[in-house]
Amino acid sequence: MDDFPEKPKRTRRKTNYKNAVKKKTSGILPKGSNQKLLISALKEYTQVFILGPAGTGKTYVTATYAADRYTLKEIDKIVITRPHVAVGKDLGYLPGTLEEKTYPWALPVLDVLIKHLGKGAVETGIKNDNIEMAPLALMRGRSFDNSFIIVDEAQNITIHELKMLLTRVGEGSTIVLNGDVQQSDLKEADGLSKVIHLAKKHMLPVPVVEFGVDDIVRSDICAQWVKVFMKEGM
């Protein structure tokens, strides 16, 4: 969308995260008009909702922007979360710490962070709790200040889970909800569509950036199959 709501004031502060090393930012260049809109929204707003099919760069652009803010010491922490992450019996049977158990599902974001920050910086960030993979089921009662919160696959989060999640956002933080409402696996109505409706109804300063199949940049193969699956209603 071109007409974003009136933007709130963004609080900027210098972080004190451990072992910080000054480094050049990514210098990300948008691939297409909607990626340009997304970058603009991320710069100007503390809440951003992103819709669109796979391969459009939703996660890549968001994670790259988070890495840049981390590099510039504008945030203390990057938080990665997504729905349907087992934290009970299924996750408990896996070996290792909670970080090691949640690492695989966070890879789409972690891969981008590693590309821009370096593997050592990401591993140090995880060790020092400056980069956190946070299962939704373990977020109740917490508060995230001066953080950049990336919520991937948000179309599979219920409205009750999103209510809990959105009320975890503390001072100086940014939250980005990223999903494809056409691919929801929920039997009930997805929470992402509901919060977008509520944000518009109550005129909240939350831009919604929508990508389409023509915005797919991953590959021609990706674009071909996304179009096929959409035509087949899959």
Question: pLDDT digits over 139-154, tens only?
Answer: 888 999 999 999 999 9
Instruction: Compute the distance between CA of residue 8 and CA of residue 221 in angstroms, rounded to an integer.
Output: 40
- pLDDT for position 88: 44
- pLDDT for position 89: 44
- pLDDT for position 230: 87
- pLDDT for position 189: 83
User: What percent of the chain has a predicted confidence (pLDDT) above 70?
Assistant: 83
The sign of the CA dihedral 78, 129, 112, 151 is negative
Tell me the pLDDT tens digit for each residue of 53-79.
999 999 999 999 999 999 999 999 999
Listed as ranges, residues in the chain with pLDDT below 50 are: 13, 85-89
Instruction: Compute the distance between CA of residue 65 and CA of residue 57 in angstroms, rounded to an integer.
Output: 12
- pLDDT for position 87: 41
Residue with tokens 């889970």: 161
Q: Residue 132 in 3-state DSSP?
A: strand
Instruction: Compute the distance between CA of residue 174 and CA of residue 111 in angstroms, rounded to an integer.
Output: 20
Contact 35, 209 (CB under 8 A): no
Instruction: Compute the distance between CA of residue 58 and CA of residue 36 in angstroms, rounded to an integer.
Output: 11
Residue with tokens 């909670």: 98
In angstroms, the first-to-last Cα distance of the chain is 26
124: its two tokens: 């140090």
Helices (H) and strands (E) in the chain, counts: 8, 6
